[in-house]
Amino acid sequence: MATNLLELDNLNAFYADSHVLHDVSLALAPGKVLALLGRNGAGKSTCISAIAGFVPPRSGRVLLAGIDLARSTPEQISRAGIGLVPQGRRIFGSLSVRENLLVASRKHTPAGRRCWTCDDVHAMFPRLRERQHQLAASLSGGEQQMLAIGRALMTNPSVLLMDEPSEGLAPQIVREVGDVLEQLKSQIAILLVEQNLGLAMKVADDVVLLNTGRVVFAGSNADFRQQQAQLQSHLGIT
C-alpha cells in the first residue's frame, strides 16, 4: 500500500467556543483524489482552513509526509507543499492573468517536487495563455477557476486542497474542471471539497463524509457508492 502523503489525525478545530471539527482523521496517498463531502455547514471548508493553517487546530495532527504542520503558519504550510484553491477563487482581479501566476511563483522548492512555470500552466490551460495580458477580473468564471488552480500549482505543491472548484460554473465547464483534475492527479494528491456529487465521484479514489464536524464514512469510491442510499441523509447534495 502507498504511504500516505497527507494525514489528519484526530483534528479538533474551533471558532471561539464553537467546536466545529471533532476528531477528524483522514489519509491521502500520492496520486489520489480524496473527496470530502457533507451537507452545508458540515465542516468541509473548516477542515481545509485547518490544514492550510487559517483556523489553527486546537488538537490533533496535520501530517505532510510524516511532518506535523498543525502549529505552522499558512506561509510555512504553503512552502511545505500544500497548495490551496480557495472557495470563490479569490484571484487578484486588478492584476493580469500572468501577474496572478507570477505572484505565487516559488524560486526555491525542495528536490522531488515539480517546479511549475507559467508555460506549464499555459500547457494545461491554453486559454490562460491567450488571455495572459488581460486583467484577471475580465475572465469568465471558468477561466477564473482555471487561474485559481494555476496559481496554486505555481507554489509547486505536493498536495492540492480544492474547495468547491465547480461552484457557480456551467455544466460544460464543470466537465472541463473534471478533466483537469484527472490530468493532475497523476502528479499530485488532491483533497477535493465538492457539492457536485457527479464531479466528486467521477474523479475521487476515496471518500470521507462529514456530518456536524464528525467523520461518518471513510472508504473507497466503490464502498461509498454501495452504501450511498444509507448515507444520503448526510449528503444534502445532488
Ligand X SMILES: Nc1ncnc2c1ncn2[C@@H]1O[C@H](COP(=O)(O)OP(=O)(O)OP(=O)(O)O)[C@@H](O)[C@H]1O
Q: Please give the residue ranges that form the binding site for ligand X (CB under 6 A).
A: 15, 18, 20, 38, 40-46
Nearer to ligand X, 37 or 77 (CB): 37
φ, ψ (nearest 5 deg) of residue 162: -125, 120
Q: Are 130 and 123 in contact (CB under 8 A)?
A: no
Minimum CB distance to ligand X, residue 39 (Å): 7
What is the residue whose three cell numbers read 509526509? Answer: 65
Q: Are 75 and 154 in contact (CB under 8 A)?
A: no
The rounded distance, in Å, linking the Cα atoms of 78 and 46 is 17
Nearer to ligand X, 33 or 48 (CB): 48
Minimum CB distance to ligand X, residue 49 (Å): 7
Q: Are 181 and 203 in contact (CB under 8 A)?
A: yes
Nearer to ligand X, 51 or 97 (CB): 51
90 DSSP 8-state letter: -
233 DSSP 8-state letter: G
Nearer to ligand X, 42 or 121 (CB): 42
Minimum CB distance to ligand X, residue 41 (Å): 4
Minimum CB distance to ligand X, residue 30 (Å): 25
